[in-house]
């Protein structure tokens, strides 16, 4: 089977590649050539600047004729689908549970809960819905994978201020005080990139049961933001004091950036029962384990 992966050198893609090379797949990886490429003779690389040039996408897909397209980036998903659908039998797209908007149910199922306040996510979610409908008309198996906060080795993990800031992690390691909006019971669900990749892998090897589905992936449970801070304290072997403030003070003075403070306002606890039931998905790492793996990676790479 010929598989084309867009975003294969990233946090999710790197783990997915490791799973795929153990199987009998012909793997084509589209890359801008910025990140180091995995060394394996089963992988064929094509250099491509991710853009809206339809002619270039057509040229690439006419060359490799992929049976499966995995678009992890999703930046130009409508063009990728339109130019690749003449060859592919399955189209897999990466999204985020943030696309559902502020959750109204916990655990959060695969459905729209409110209008997403982030325009980029909102646009991609609308595109995803349209591609899903079109793929069904075209007879192509469509699957979307929706992770929560992605963690684990390979990328700086979310810090206690909703960012991926090395300097914040250095402060955590020193045991500096952290401010949280009261009462600190919002749920957060760090999910290892390997477990996210597993959702893509299972969809590829079981395309029928994955067809016409939007699947959440995630850890088997979520933790409160208070536990999130305490877990970093345990990993760094320090006591991280927590000062609780009102949401108004937190969002206006301490952490005003919505892209960061929303981690401590919206419950991030995906319901993974559907992909578990249909594809046998079972996360390997708990939130605490993937946070520890991420910190170990930062230490090994002398980031902290």
Whether 80 shows a pLDDT value over 80: the answer reads yes
pLDDT band at 45 (very low <50, low <70, confident <90, very high): confident
Please name which of 142, 122, 124 lies closest in space to residue 132, comparing C-alpha atoms: 142
2-149+191-216 and 151-189+221-268+286-300 share one fold? no
Whether 34 shows a pLDDT value over 90: the answer reads no
Whether 272 shows a pLDDT value over 70: the answer reads yes
Average the pLDDT over 240-248 and give the result.
Answer: 98
pLDDT: which is higher, 217 or 39: 217
Identify whether the C-beta of residue 142 lies closer than 8 Å to the C-beta of residue 286: no
Helix (H, G, I), strand (E, B) or coil at 264: helix
| pLDDT tens sequence across 253-264 | 999 999 999 999
Q: What is the pLDDT of residue 36?
A: 59
Does the domain at 151-189+221-268+286-300 match CATH 1.10.238? Answer given as no
Average the pLDDT over 118-145 and give the result.
Answer: 98
Q: Spell out the residues 6+ positions from residue 252 whose beta carbon is closer than 8 angstroms to its own.
A: none
243 beta partners: 179
Whether 32 shows a pLDDT value over 80: the answer reads no
The beta strands (E) that lie in the chain are given as: 2-6, 26-31, 43-47, 68-71, 90-94, 141-146, 150-151, 178-181, 187-188, 191-192, 213-216, 223-224, 242-245
| pLDDT tens sequence across 105-114 | 999 999 999 9
Q: What is the pLDDT of residue 49?
A: 78
Whether 40 shows a pLDDT value over 80: the answer reads no
Q: What is the pLDDT of residue 72?
A: 96
Q: What is the pLDDT of residue 37?
A: 61
In the chain, where are the structural domains located?
2-149+191-216, 151-189+221-268+286-300
pLDDT band at 75 (very low <50, low <70, confident <90, very high): very high
| pLDDT tens sequence across 177-232 | 999 999 999 999 999 999 999 999 999 999 999 999 999 999 999 999 999 999 99
Please tell me the class of the 2-149+191-216 domain: alpha beta
Please provide the average confidence, as pLDDT, over all residues in the chain: 95
71 beta partners: 6, 93
47 beta partners: 31
């Amino acid at each position: 089977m010929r598989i084309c992966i867009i975003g294969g050198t990233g946090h999710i893609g790197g783990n997915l590649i490791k799973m795929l090379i153990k199987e009998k797949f012909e793997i084509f990886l589209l890359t801008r050539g910025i990140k180091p490429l995995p060394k394996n003779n089963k992988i064929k690389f094509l250099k491509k600047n991710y853009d809206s040039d339809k002619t270039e996408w057509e040229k690439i897909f006419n060359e490799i004729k992929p049976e499966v397209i995995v678009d992890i980036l999703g930046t130009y998903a409508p063009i990728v689908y339109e130019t690749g659908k003449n060859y592919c039998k399955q189209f897999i797209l990466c999204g985020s549970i943030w696309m559902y908007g502020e959750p109204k149910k916990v655990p959060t199922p695969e459905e729209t809960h409110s209008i997403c306040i982030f325009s980029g996510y909102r646009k991609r979610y609308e595109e995803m819905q349209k591609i899903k409908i079109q793929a069904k008309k075209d007879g192509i198996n469509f699957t979307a994978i929706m992770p929560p906060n992605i963690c684990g080795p390979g990328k700086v993990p979310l810090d206690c201020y909703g960012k991926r800031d090395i300097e914040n992690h250095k402060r955590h390691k020193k045991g500096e005080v952290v401010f949280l909006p009261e009462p600190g019971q919002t749920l957060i669900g760090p999910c290892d990139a390997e477990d996210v990749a597993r959702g893509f892998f299972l969809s590829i090897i079981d395309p029928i049961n994955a067809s016409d589905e939007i699947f959440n992936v995630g850890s088997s449970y979520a933790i409160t933001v208070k536990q999130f801070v305490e877990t970093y304290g345990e990993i760094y072997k320090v006591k991280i004091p927590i000062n609780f403030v009102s949401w108004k003070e937190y969002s206006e003075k301490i952490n005003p950036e919505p892209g960061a403070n929303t981690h401590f306002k919206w419950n991030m606890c995906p319901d993974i029962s559907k992909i578990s039931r249909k594809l046998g998905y079972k996360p390997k790492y708990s939130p605490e384990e993937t946070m520890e793996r991420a910190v170990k990676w930062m230490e090994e790479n002398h980031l902290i």
